[in-house]
Amino acid sequence: MINVGEILSNLWEQSGFASLFAGFTGDGWQNLVMIIIGCALLYLAIVKKFEPLLLCGIAFGCILSNLPGAGLYNQGLWDSYVNGTPYLVTGEAGEVIRTIEHIHFTDIIHYGGLLDIFYIGVKSSLYPCLIFMGVGAMTDFGPLLSNPKSLLLGAAAQLGVFAAFFGAVLLGFTGPEAASIGIIGGADGPTAIFLTSQLASNLLGPIAVAAYSYMALIPLIQPPFMKMLTTKEQRKIKMVQTRNVSKTEKIIFPILVTVFVALLLPDTAPLIGCLMFGNLMKETGATDRLSDTMQNSLMNTVTILLSTAVGATMTGANFLNVQTLSIVALGVVAFILSTVGGLLGGLVMCKLTRGKVNPLIGSAGVSAVPMAARVSNTVGQKYNPSNFLLMHAMGPNVAGVIGSAIAAGFLLSVFG
Amino acid sequence: MDLITLAPPPTEAVNALENLGVGDAGILALLGYAVVFFGLILLMAVVIALGAVFAAKAKKAAKAAAPVEAAPAVQAAPAPTAPGSAGNMKLYNVEPKTAAMIMAIVADKMGKPLNELRFISIKEVE
């Protein structure tokens, strides 16, 4: 006669609940805490609308990878892949069946879970590059072309990247880790994920969460510093309309930038190449179908895969430590200093042009297209309702995207 | 088999970058910031040069087209405006239908009747 009690007992032991409540002596509590954090992130995404398109996926990926026994994401596989150490394949009873000396993507497809397979796209830099392609197809570089000096504001606003890098080294992070933390200041999610997956994939979860959370908080983070660093009169400055840019210029620009930046810093070629390829498809007027795919279906598909894969890296062991708190703190410092850098650049330009440039457009140099430009416009209109800074702020805003890609390229060439 | 020794031994250079000193980190931070500026300043120069070429081209084209356009302008008498009209308005790359919609929105936002406002021109900004 079958032993019903034993069957039920086995069922319980194999269930995730048993692992979850294995007692606070094991790792069960970490999974539980991470599931709660995942739910909190879902709340922020759905109710508070914090970058919901990405945060929803990140939060759900976090919940999925912390379900004990589901095996959707295996940190051990990726540790072996990154460190080049052997991976031990174990059987149901925990016995070692096979030792893989060097893990390759094919092994991950064979032995990994669903989220491991998703994560291959992050580790190979495929998703961040495809996202950049979509961003390029959605970006109008016209304001930048009509006012090329705004590129300087895009450069000035990378101050936070390097200040946070320095701060992270002071806090004891290794060089590659500090570089990955610093790039949060670029306010550019795909660039942060691209660089971190190359240099410090163990920090990918906290860095992605910090980057996207702070990007969503830009309307709260930036205005106090914009008011602190500028005078009322400066905020009221009306900027003159810039020249019209021809279609040919817009077509030549992406080709020119790709060749120029990739020659200057070859490590930026994947990001800048994809960004500018997407932009070229938009501007040609002959490839509308491709541009439409990049902007919508491709972008949406990759966003789903990227966000869940990044969320999957938020395992208890990776996330629940002092490092995460440091990253969250350094992230906000990076954002603030990037805003300050851009504003200081704006103030210098205001002085040099004898009040023709509104310094508020400087804060838009922190990528985060188009949110940061909108903030410049909103703050400007508060002091002069007939002042429309949006198009002027879009120049530094898209310059910030190129600036953060160059910063990432520099850090990758040093630490990669 | 020793599983741990299979990992490649770190070289001295890798170690130096892994465990950065404060001084080295400061130098790298300054260097990185300078490289970003350098790259974007060079790009700015290239974009300005590109813009100058196109501006010169556009000026040349406008100059060539000017005499053709100027001749009828002298002869043509201004069209009479409707009674109560605030005069003519110039449209640049904007359909009359779109212009009417824009004027209605502006009037609504300003809380003033449309016939009390005067629009000089409406231009599409690319």
| Res A192: pLDDT | 94
| Contact between chains at A241 and B125 (C-beta distance less than 8 A) | yes
**Residue of B28, B39, B44 lying closest to A265 (CB–CB):** B39
| Res B120: pLDDT | 83
**Residue of A99, A169, A410 lying closest to B32 (CB–CB):** A410
**Residue of B33, B46, B51 lying closest to A162 (CB–CB):** B33
Which residue from B minimizes the CA distance to A200?
B18
| Contact between chains at A162 and B29 (C-beta distance less than 8 A) | yes
Q: Shortest Cα distance from B109 to chain A (angstroms)?
A: 12
* Positions of chain B with pLDDT under 70: 1-15, 67-87, 125-126
| Res A356: pLDDT | 92
Domain boundaries, chain B: 10-76, 81-126
B26 reaches A (C-beta below 8 A) = yes
| Contact between chains at B22 and A169 (C-beta distance less than 8 A) | yes
Which residue from B minimizes the CA distance to A244?
B126
Query: Cβ(A147)–Cβ(A396) under 8 Å?
Result: no
| Contact between chains at B3 and A260 (C-beta distance less than 8 A) | no
Note the pLDDT tens digit of each residue in A262-278. 998 898 899 999 999 99
Which residue from A minimizes the CA distance to B27?
A166
Note the pLDDT tens digit of each residue in A355-397. 999 999 999 999 888 889 999 999 999 998 888 899 999 999 9
Query: Cβ(A162)–Cβ(B33) under 8 Å?
Result: yes
Torsion of CA A195, A197, A198, A203, to 10 degrees: 90
**Residue of A169, A176, A403 lying closest to B25 (CB–CB):** A169
Neighboring chain B residues of A84 at a CB cutoff of 8 Å:
6-8
* Positions of chain A with pLDDT under 70: 19-27
- Other Cβ atoms less than 10 A from the Cβ of A16: the count is 14
Domain boundaries, chain A: 12-118, 123-415
| Res B60: pLDDT | 87
| Res B4: pLDDT | 42
